Amino acid sequence: MPNLRSLSPEELTQLVASIGEKPFRAKQLYEWLWKNGASEFDDMSNLPAGFREKLSQEYTIDKVKIDHSQTSRDRTIKTAFRLHDDHLIEGVLIPTDTRMTACISSQVGCSLACKFCATGKMDRLRNLDHWEIYDQVALIKKQAEDNYGIPLSNIVYMGMGEPLLNYTNMLKSTQMISSPDGLGMSPQRITVSTAGIAKMIKKLGDDEVKFNLALSLHAASDAKRNEIMGINETNNLTVLAEALRYFHEKTGTRITFEYIVFDGFNDSLDDAADLARFARNVPVKINLIEYNPIGDGLFQNAKADRIEDFRDFLESRNLIVNIRRSRGKDIDAACGQLANKG
């Protein structure tokens, strides 16, 4: 049977009318599915019993479920989510002193095969539906409240998969997460990260999205980026720079560069100079990220003094720079590790 949660508000209105119910029932039904998170038709107490019975005969309510979780000493919670077709994806709750961040997935696996990423060792099996992306946020939001008594403050699409290769579902999920009839979170609290799909970055600009954009850069020369991220061969830095400028002109949003600092690969001051030059293309802030090794020995985290020297060089060029410390080092925190074990 089809999943009722795959229907749009307009389709729910049509469904309600076809059953012969009054139009306001569509809004009640929508709120049960999204705002109240109902998993059974019997939970929908203000809907007539006959209406609920008809729905149950023709539709299911598929939801993402928690399969298992790991909690780190630093309070990071990594969760493997089980989907209705038995696939596993993962999400992370990252608590800090100033925010509670949900890191969520957009695909089962990934097709980009970045060499430093555990998810890159998996095949892309399918895109997530918008409701599967939404459910991850709702479940991680509950984890934040139940475990730490603090509401979720930020959402990053930085888990498994490339969000811009699942564009329609990604966009629909951000709209529902920020809707007053959904989770009611500000789009300014949402960041969508891409490995660099230039034409889809331009589409984000055309759609005048309100959320933030992050580019997983990790090297600011084509030679080095080609070595670790195959997507750069068809979306090189020149092409990306033009797309980023277009996005900024359309939205006015400052872009974030994500830059994992690998020991002996992209951690020199020459690499920092390359990054500073590339950052001239568009207003940016730069996150230097400690690496969580994935166990294959290809890459290691750069030494602390190298990362600090790297940051100091960028700051001397008047760039906004933050160092993002590795979280969950004592659990399977690197993207893709937990789902790979499932």
Enzyme catalytic residues: 90, 335
* Structure token digits, residue 24: 């306001």
Contact 99, 154 (CB under 8 A): yes
The residue written with tokens 């970055």 in the block is: 201
Element (H, E) at 28: helix 24-33
**E strands within 224-291?**
255-260, 284-289
Q: Is 132 helix (H, G, I), strand (E, B) or coil?
A: helix
- In angstroms, the CA 283 to CA 280 distance is 7
- In angstroms, the CA 83 to CA 106 distance is 13
Number of C-alpha atoms within 13 angstroms, CB side, residue 226? Answer: 7
* Structure token digits, residue 311: 């940051």
* Structure token digits, residue 99: 């925010």
